[in-house]
Amino acid sequence: MKLSNMLITTLREVPAEAELPSHKLMLRSGMMRKMASGIYNYMPLGLKTLKKVEDIVRDEMNKAGAQEFLASALIPAELWQESGRWGVFGPEMFRLNDRNERQFCLGPTHEEVFTDIARAVIKSYKQLPLNLYQIQTKYRDERRPRFGVMRSKEFTMKDAYSFDKDYEGLDVTYNKMYKAYTNIFERCGVDCSAVEADSGAMGGSGSAEFMVKSEYGEDEVVFCDCCNYAANMEKAPSTPQKAEEEEIKGLEKVETPDAKTIEELIKFFNITPEKFAKTLIYKADDKVVAVMVRGDREVNETKVTNAVGGAVEFELADEKTVKEATSAEIGFAGPIGIKVDFLLVDEEVANMYNFIVGANETGYHYTNVNYGRDFEGTVGDFRNVTSEDKCPKCGESLTIARGIEVGHIFKLGTKYSESMNAVFSDEDGKKKPLIMGCYGIGINRTMASIIEQHHDENGIVWPLSVAPYHVIVIPAVSKNEEQMKAAEDIYNSLKELGVEVLLDDRKERAGVKFKDADLIGIPMRVTVGRMISEGKVEFKLRSSDEVEEMELSCVIDRVKEEFEKNSIKL
């Protein structure tokens, strides 16, 4: 493509709302434009890379034996009612009616649709295993769309749904997908970690998230400093902590009129937060759940939800519920005499001595509280891991970092096949529910993650595999006929080879051309300047500062070399 014919939409100024490097660079380089909050239009450069990511995903999915489908984005409400999720999905789901007042949604995900397809076409175990995927537009009405395409309302997702006859088969499929995902991200140049993730109340080790480390990430990830262990915060188990042993003292009720928060209590008692146990009250659907963790810890809501057998809605209880459970104003909740359906006590709290809790009476706390003597509950791991915890695999120290989820693989089991009656006839002639897995990759998010990991102060540094164009040929002075002719020759020869190449034939200064080439991140730059009179040109990789001077006749081989180095076929 000649740049003189191309619609160039690079921006000098980037909207203040863009914080993330990839968001800024996608706007500055003219890859996309904002249409509305969380809704973007892709310009030619952005679309080319988006399609390359799609093609890598498609190739690896096909190699892993998955078959490509394409479902509609409009999905009738009935399917979601069948699975029970119509009522579960909140305002994130875009809902609309057709002219006959039939209800639809714009699919935020497609488990129901593919379970529906499977139950219609799968009859026998002989057809299994099957892995069906699509690369398709998804819709989520995000409360806070942000970070450009990282969290947007309309986005492209590769979603796959696998069907096996038994759990052993699911394990095989799951592992194939794990490998395929590893290949995909490697080919895209994305350095990411497969992180153990929570798989809901059913437990098991059936879920992994592929996370890219980023200070802007919305998820917390726990990495071992030594082995390859990684887990997301929801899932990572805490290490049992034992407080220093003390002589057990007698329980005392203390008047604490103005001290309700941990900070106020620390001041009031002049003591460290490790001596407090806070009691938080949640609603899990219609059940009331009290959770106790040490004063300086965070409750892990996923662990709590799993401990009570799962919940569709889980949130901190409202004031009325708290008052009913504690018979007191907010700020005085404690385990002794509390009226709740579940009292969950973090293991660490059960191991503390002579600690302080709310007295379930306005203006009072208990001191010298001890588990077992003063109250009992369900003891378990209910808190978030901290850097004090240890790796559950090797016992070494942990680092907590933020991450962006680019992929997720998940063993669903029979959740959908049972609710939607998707069964097959097994070898023994019996009807059994299909054993399912689901596997997602955010295509736009992967593209943005590539930029997060491949940019410098001048712009994007595309890996060759996903670059919108491989090479940019720049005649330093477009008016110079010799330079222009040589540049066009290189351009045409590369094009003939199948290289995707740009020719910057604009009547701009060389400096402007270099700046733009750097911004849009084309991996290889061939500059035709004054030295062309001696038959020489300059070759430069975007990822390197080195300018290689070479004979005109060597350029093609130099370009081919890069393709070979990157294992990309021409």
Provide the binding-site residues for a second copy, judged by CB under 8 A.
Answer: 5-7, 9, 33, 35-36, 39-44, 47, 50, 65, 67-76, 91, 94-96, 98-99, 102, 104, 106, 113, 116-117, 120-121, 127, 130, 132, 137, 139, 141, 143, 153-154
Question: Closest CB to a second copy among 72 and 421?
Answer: 72
CB atoms within 10 A of CB 448: 28
Alpha carbons 153 and 141: distance in angstroms, whole number? 5
Q: Which amino acid is at 360?
A: N
Minimum distance of a second copy from residue 383's CB (angstroms): 32
Which CA distances in Å does 318 have to 178, 264, 409?
41, 22, 35
Question: Closest CB to a second copy among 9 and 493?
Answer: 9
Alpha carbons 543 and 524: distance in angstroms, whole number? 9
Question: Closest CB to a second copy among 38 and 523?
Answer: 38
Retrieve residue 521's tokens.
Answer: 């991140």
Question: Closest CB to a second copy among 112 and 234?
Answer: 112
Minimum distance of a second copy from residue 61's CB (angstroms): 12
Q: In the 8-state DSSP scheme, what is residue 311?
A: -
Question: Closest CB to a second copy among 61 and 280?
Answer: 61
- Tell whether omega for the bond before 240 is within 30 degrees of 0, i.e. cis: no
Cα maximum dimension of the chain: 96
CB atoms within 10 A of CB 340: 22
Task: Tally the residues of the chain.
Answer: 570
Minimum distance of a second copy from residue 91's CB (angstroms): 4
Minimum distance of a second copy from residue 34's CB (angstroms): 10
User: Backbone dihedral region of 215: left (phi > 0), alpha (psi from -120 to 50 degrees) or beta?
Assistant: alpha
Minimum distance of a second copy from residue 2's CB (angstroms): 10
Q: In the 8-state DSSP scheme, what is residue 239?
A: P
Question: Closest CB to a second copy among 58 and 558?
Answer: 58
Instruction: List beta partners, residue 74.
Output: 106
Minimum distance of a second copy from residue 505's CB (angstroms): 13
Alpha carbons 505 and 416: distance in angstroms, whole number? 57
Centroid of chain to Cα 441: 9
Minimum distance of a second copy from residue 380's CB (angstroms): 36
Alpha carbons 322 and 19: distance in angstroms, whole number? 39
Instruction: List beta partners, residue 450.
Output: none
Minimum distance of a second copy from residue 161's CB (angstroms): 12
CA neighbor of 568 nearest in space, from 442, 455, 492, 470: 470
Question: Closest CB to a second copy among 235 and 513?
Answer: 513
